[in-house]
């Protein structure tokens, strides 16, 4: 009986071995040294550029926003950071959280400053008693201290700010073209719409076919307001084949007057 064993130092079939020549090891070492030098240089440059922030330039057209307040927010948010290490997005968010701020941009100004550009909110309407809506229908102040009296008053259930604002923006222009001005727009909990004109007349549009009823108002009843608006208390557009007018005089307001379209 005979036995056979593979020599220990014999290579397996298909096995390859590689050995880097000495010059390759030297080249790799030189590369690592070069990378380390670049990294050190980069850190040195960063340290040199990361100077303390000494100046904050604030630009914009300000009526409600205080540039001094913006500067205080920037300094508080950037405290301890240099011009390179400061987190610009964090500074921007902190400023954006201030009342009456609509848009913000923050940029570095070498060697030791920041430039802040601010756009204020533009109020388009009041919301409820103390809120303000911007032109996008967003409630940006819920408890305003100073509310311009000339702004129309919009109201509706919580969460309907944008819907009410969109109808206002679509309605106001048409009324102005007819020589009328909207002073209030209401959406009640049942989904019914009413418009108050600055002449004291209320236009009742109801819950259904609101757009069609408004168009019918513009084509018919709006013309009567130009003729007898001082005598009218309301216009009710919730009729299929016409509309009703409520008169200010006690004699006629009790029964109103029905007109066919």
CA distance 76 to 71: 9
Q: Are residues 148 and 240 in the same domain?
A: yes
Instruction: Provide the pLDDT for residue 149.
Output: 82
198-221 pLDDT per residue, tens: 999 999 999 999 999 999 999 999
Tokens 């500067």 sit at which residue?
71
**Two tokens, residue 222:** 């709006």
41-96 pLDDT per residue, tens: 444 455 566 688 889 999 999 999 999 999 999 989 988 888 899 999 999 999 99
CATH code at 243? 3.40.50.11690
- Name, in order, each residue with C-beta under 8 angstroms of 177's C-beta and a sequence gap of 6 or more: none
Q: Is residue 41 part of a domain?
A: no
Q: Is residue 38 part of a domain?
A: no
Instruction: Report residue 236: phi and psi, to 5°.
Output: -105, 110
Q: Are residues 159 and 233 in the same domain?
A: yes
Q: Is residue 6 part of a domain?
A: no
Q: What angle do CA 177, 178, 181 make, to 5 degrees?
A: 85
Q: Are residues 101 and 133 in the same domain?
A: no
Q: Are residues 236 and 152 in the same domain?
A: yes
Q: Are residues 97 and 188 in the same domain?
A: no
Range of the domain at 237: 123-260
Helix H or strand E encompassing 235: strand 232-236
Instruction: Provide the pLDDT for residue 27.
Output: 60
CATH code at 93? 3.10.20.310
Q: Are residues 248 and 159 in the same domain?
A: yes
Query: Which of 17-26, 40-49, 118-127, 249-258 shows the highest mean pLDDT?
Result: 118-127
- Name, in order, each residue with C-beta under 8 angstroms of 76's C-beta and a sequence gap of 6 or more: 94
Last residue of a domain, one of 68, 103, 120: 120
Q: 113-120 and 131-134: which strand pairing?
A: unpaired
Of 44-53, 131-140, 241-250, least confident by mean pLDDT is 44-53
* pLDDT mean across residues, the chain: 83
Instruction: Provide the pLDDT for residue 100.
Output: 94
Last residue of a domain, one of 97, 120, 143: 120
Q: Is the pTM of this model over 0.85?
A: no
Helix H or strand E encompassing 185: strand 182-187
List helix spans (H) across 78-156.
Answer: 88-96
Residue 170 above 70 pLDDT? yes
Count of residues making up the chain = 261
Q: Are residues 140 and 166 in the same domain?
A: yes
β-strand partners of 114: 56, 108
Q: Under a CB-based contact definition with an 8 Å cutoff, are residues 105 and 92 in contact? A: yes
Q: Are residues 66 and 110 in the same domain?
A: yes
Number of domains present in the structure of the chain: 2
Name the 3-class secondary structure at 151: coil
């Amino acid at each position: 009986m005979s036995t056979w064993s593979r020599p220990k130092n014999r290579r397996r079939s298909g096995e390859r071995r590689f050995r880097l020549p000495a010059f390759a090891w030297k080249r790799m070492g030189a590369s690592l040294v070069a990378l380390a030098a670049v990294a050190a240089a980069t850190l040195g440059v960063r340290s040199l550029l990361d100077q303390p922030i000494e100046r904050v330039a604030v630009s914009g057209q300000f009526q409600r926003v205080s540039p001094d307040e913006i500067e205080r927010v920037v300094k508080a948010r950037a405290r301890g950071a240099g011009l390179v290490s400061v987190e610009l997005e964090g500074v921007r968010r902190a400023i954006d959280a201030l009342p009456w701020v609509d848009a913000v941009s923050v940029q570095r100004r070498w060697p030791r400053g920041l430039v802040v550009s601010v756009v204020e909110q533009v109020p388009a309407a009041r919301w409820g008693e103390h809120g303000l809506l911007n032109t996008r229908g967003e409630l940006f102040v819920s408890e305003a201290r100073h509310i311009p009296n000339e702004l129309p008053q919009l109201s509706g259930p919580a969460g309907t700010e944008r819907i009410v604002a969109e109808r206002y923006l679509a309605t106001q222009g048409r009324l102005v073209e007819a020589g009328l001005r909207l002073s209030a727009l209401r959406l009640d909990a049942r989904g019914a719409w009413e418009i108050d004109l600055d002449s004291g007349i209320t236009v009742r549009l109801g819950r259904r076919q609101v757009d069609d009823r408004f168009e019918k108002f513009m084509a018919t009843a709006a013309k009567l307001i130009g003729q007898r608006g001082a005598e009218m208390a309301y216009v009710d557009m919730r009729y299929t084949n016409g509309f009703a007018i409520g008169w200010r005089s006690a004699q006629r307001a009790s029964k109103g007057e029905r007109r066919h379209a």
